């Protein structure tokens, strides 16, 4: 068992605020490291603390610009490995490239597997992440991976709110049914499903709704919101078919393109997201967005990993 004094947590540029919150929960200060760029744009890393024989956790979401933040993480791993760290855990609150998890067309890569290989080759001993877009990505790694679920923090949030039997959880597409069903089960609510057809990439067309939503308040539940096309079209469909109100929960606020504008103009009354990705300034100004803090959950996972305790025990939060 590693002693408590051996724990060090460093951050890349994508997760500075989240890392500070994690370290506050752990009762430590973030590790001192320079994460910068040379004049030609190359990533420059220098670890400014003694790490030999220590248990190192490197926190960085691979959110946009994903390539830059992925390179930061890989180079940080290499830096602490060459400095003789005892164990290196890559903490990736948002795992980019997760949607490229299979060959759905001819002559396309499986980029999620490539990223897993890069992290392993760089020298990570294990990975800690939150709400992978596809659960099978866990099998892409040849090192241990701990997969936290964002619905834990959403359940905690709804436990503080008063809601009755007139609420229903809605999966915005067929791919999110399993996670939405688990969330609905934890809240003790029924489940409905939006059946849609996607004519082009990053576009979605709502077809019909499976389940009873007329006269109900609805909660759309997904792992991420990118262009917001899926959530917004689902919200319109729900209201058209008699939903009293529409709220949404999405762990990762990628919010590319005109996503924030689309949400502001949509029937979605409120959208709950997590701080796996720092919220864009445009979204921070919107009254519709509420950010929930992942730091306590990630901090507990880091502490359990460090102390060689169970991480799966953190996944069973219920109301």
DSSP 8-state class, residue 32: P
65 cis-preceded (ω within 30 degrees of 0): yes
Residues 207 and 304: their CA atoms lie apart, in Å, by 44
> Which residue out of 196, 285, 288, 290 is catalytically annotated?
196
> What residues does 168 pair with on adjacent strands?
218
In whole angstroms, give the CA distance from residue 189 to residue 168.
Answer: 6
Altogether, the residues listed in the chain come to a count of: 319
Smallest Cα–Cα separation from 163: which of 210, 243, 218, 214? 218
Between CA 178 and CA 189 the distance in angstroms is 14
The H or E element spanning position 262 is: helix 259-264
DSSP symbol at 110:
-
Q: Is 196 a catalytic residue?
A: yes
- The DSSP-derived string for 35-80 is EEE-TTS-EEEEE-S--TT-EEEEE----SSHHHHHHHHHHHHHHH
With contact defined as beta carbons under 8 Å apart, do 94 and 130 qualify? yes
Element (H, E) at 90: strand 87-92
Mention every residue, 6+ apart, whose C-beta is less than 8 A from residue 75.
Answer: 43, 45, 122
Q: Dihedral through CA 202, CA 208, CA 212, CA 216, nearest 10?
A: 50
- Catalytic positions, written as ranges: 196
């Amino acid at each position: 068992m590693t002693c408590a004094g051996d724990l060090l947590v460093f951050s890349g540029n994508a997760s500075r605020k989240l890392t500070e919150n994690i370290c506050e929960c752990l009762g430590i200060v973030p590790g001192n490291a320079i994460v910068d760029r040379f004049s030609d744009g190359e990533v420059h890393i220098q670890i400014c603390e003694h790490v030999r024989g220590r248990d190192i956790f490197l926190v960085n979401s691979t959110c946009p610009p994903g390539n830059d933040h992925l390179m930061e993480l890989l180079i940080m791993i290499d830096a602490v490995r060459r400095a003789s760290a005892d164990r290196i855990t890559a903490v990736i609150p948002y795992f980019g490239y997760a949607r490229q998890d299979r060959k759905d067309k001819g002559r396309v890569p499986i980029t999620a597997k490539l990223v897993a290989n890069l992290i392993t080759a760089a020298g990570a001993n294990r990975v800690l992440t939150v709400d992978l877009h596809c659960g099978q990505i866990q099998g892409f790694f040849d090192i241990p991976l701990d997969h936290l679920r964002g619905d834990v923090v959403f359940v905690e949030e709804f436990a503080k709110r008063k809601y009755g039997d007139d609420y229903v959880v809605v999966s915005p597409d067929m791919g999110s049914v399993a996670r939405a069903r688990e969330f609905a089960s934890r809240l003790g609510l029924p489940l409905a499903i939006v059946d849609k057809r996607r004519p082009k990439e990053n576009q979605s067309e709502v077809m019909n709704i499976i389940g009873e939503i007329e006269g109900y308040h609805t909660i759309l539940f997904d792992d991420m919101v990118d262009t917001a096309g899926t959530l917004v079209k689902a919200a319109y469909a729900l209201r058209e078919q008699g939903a009293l109100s529409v709220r949404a929960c999405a762990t990762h606020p990628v919010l590319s393109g005109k996503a924030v504008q689309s949400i502001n103009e949509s029937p979605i009354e409120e959208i709950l997201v997590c701080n796996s990705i720092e919220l864009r300034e445009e979204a921070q100004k919107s009254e519709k967005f509420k950010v929930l803090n992942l730091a306590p959950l990630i901090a507990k996972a880091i502490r359990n990993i460090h102390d060689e305790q169970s991480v799966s025990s953190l996944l069973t939060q219920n109301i």
